[in-house]
Amino acid sequence: MPLSWRQLASLIGPPGPMPPQLVWLANPQANDRRILLHAPQTLTIGRVDAVLTGGTSPSISFSLRHGADVSAAGTAVTTDPITTASTTSGSVITSFQVPAIPEGQWLWLEVTASSGSPQALTVSVQFS
């Protein structure tokens, strides 16, 4: 006899930790937007790593935002945009004003400024 949904769920157990999410943007420009995920459960951002490749003295500012409607402004995770100019070891961000992403909301990255023509921006978002 097949298992019921409840029986199957009890065997699987509660959801585990969310793996880190990685986003890569080629030739990032202001107003570029990339969706990272749709939260399957309430998630809390614990760390963000960002690094640039290429360009001449490149710099990128970006905002991580979440909300139910990706066409709206959403809620910013940090008060000010996150800025990185590192092409070597990257930048690490561990302080957030609104780190919690409610279940069912989208998380996206939005580039707010770009200079020095970076070839790519790579961002890793880790959850605690």
Domains of the chain are: 16-127 (2.60.120.260)
Runs of H (alpha helix) within the chain = 5-12
Strand partners, 124: 22, 49
Residue range 48-90, pLDDT digits in tens: 999 999 988 999 999 999 999 999 999 999 999 999 999 999 9
- Going from the C-alpha of 17 to that of each of 5, 42, 96, 104, 112, the distances in angstroms are 22, 11, 19, 16, 30
Tell me the whole-structure pTM to 2 decimals: 0.85
Instruction: Compute the Cα dihedral for 8, 13, 19, 21 and give only its sign.
Output: positive
- Going from the C-alpha of 92 to that of each of 7, 8, 38, 49, the distances in angstroms are 42, 40, 23, 5
CA neighbours closer than 13 Å in the CB half-sphere of residue 91:
19
- What is the pLDDT, as a whole number, of residue 73? 93
- What is the pLDDT, as a whole number, of residue 4? 76
pLDDT greater than 70 at residue 8? no
